[in-house]
Amino acid sequence: MSAIWSIVRRELAGYFATPVAYVFIVVFLLLTGIFTFYLGNFFQRGQADLLAFFNFHPWLYLFLVPAIAMRLWSEEHKAGTTELLLTLPLPAYAAVIGKFLAGWIFIGIALLLTLPIWLTVNWLGSPDNGVIVAGYLGSFLMAGGFLAIGACFSGMTSNQVIAFVLSVVTCFLFIVAGVPIVLDLFTGWAPEALVSTVASLSFVSHFQGIVKGVIDLRDLVYFASMIVLWLIANGIVVELRKG
């Protein structure tokens, strides 16, 4: 455990050692603001809730989370420090988990900085704060899923751009799996089971359940297993890359 926290602290400090962290946080807050108030018609809807805010999160994360994830391993591969890190007396899974947690905590910090939106909606009306807490939880879990995908691709290559592009494409597939246009491709010819399997893989359908305030165990298990499976893949990829 202590080894994991050493890695987490080093990685988190790594985000803040360069302007990356500040750029990310500013862009994240700007985009959430634009999406919520401009595209999401926060005020015009006249509803005291944060649906307009949360609904855009999958699309926001599609680009921002791979940007956070891409450096996790690629940077080490490029500098050759993978060899240093993986010959320290810590198990490889500690490095995988530590790096993931650092990225997740960082996204968590960015998410916490959106709290003024929550305060605003409380000032304007009386929203169901339980639903909003669920929304934040769902958003954080979904970000974890995106991040685990990004970390895995980062482990594959020393090129951050390649890691970024592959992660965005994969995350995109996991978003659109639940969109009607994609599902329509399957309905009609594919068995019902396949259609529902594809739909159940979607980040969005699981996320929307939570955002509406319904914390279904299946949704939680879905995100948890996404994170675990992609991190296992991450560990395997890093191991294979050593030769």
Partner 1 sequence: MRSSPALIEIHGLSKHFGPFAAVDGIDLTVPGGEVLGFLGPNGAGKTTTMRMITGFLAPSAGSITIAGFDVAAAPLQARQVLGYLPEGAPLYPDMTVAGFLGFIAEVRRIDGQRRRERLDAVIDQVGLGDVLRQPIGTLSKGYKRRVGLAQAIVHEPRVLILDEPTDGLDPNQKHEVRKLIRAMARDRAIVISTHILEEVEAVCSRAVIIDRGRIIADGTPDELKARSGYHNAVVLTVPRAQAGAATEDLKDLPGVERVTRDELADGYDRYTVIPTESVSIAGAVSGLVRERGWSVRELYVLPGRLDDVFRKLTGHRQSGEAA
Q: How far apart are CA 237 and CA 232, in angstroms?
A: 9
* Sequence letter at residue 34: I
Q: Which residues of 55-74 are buried (b: 16+ CB within 10 A; e: fewer)?
A: bbbbebbbbbbbbbbbbbbb
Q: How far is the CB of 202 from partner 1 (least distance, A)?
A: 37
Least distance between partner 1 and beta carbon 94 (Å): 9
Q: Which is nearer to partner 1, 86 or 201 (CB)?
A: 86
**Chain residues 29-68 in contact with partner 1, contact rule CB under 8 A:** none
- In sequence order, what are the residues at sequence separation of 6 or more whose Cβ sits closer than 8 angstroms to the Cβ of residue 160? 70, 71, 74, 75, 78, 154
Rounded Cα–Cα distance for residues 143 and 110 (Å)? 11
- 134: number of Cβ within 10 Å: 19
Verify binding: residue 18, partner 1, rule CB under 8 A.
yes
Judged by CB under 8 A, the stretch of 2-10, 23-31, 36-44, 139-147 that binds partner 1 is: 2-10
79 is an interface residue for partner 1 by CB under 8 A: yes
- For residues 81-140, which are near partner 1 according to CB under 8 A? 81, 83-84, 86-91
Cβ-based nearer residue to partner 1, 6 or 120: 6
Residues that bind partner 1 (CB under 8 A): 2-3, 6-7, 9-10, 13-14, 17-18, 79-81, 83-84, 86-91, 242-243
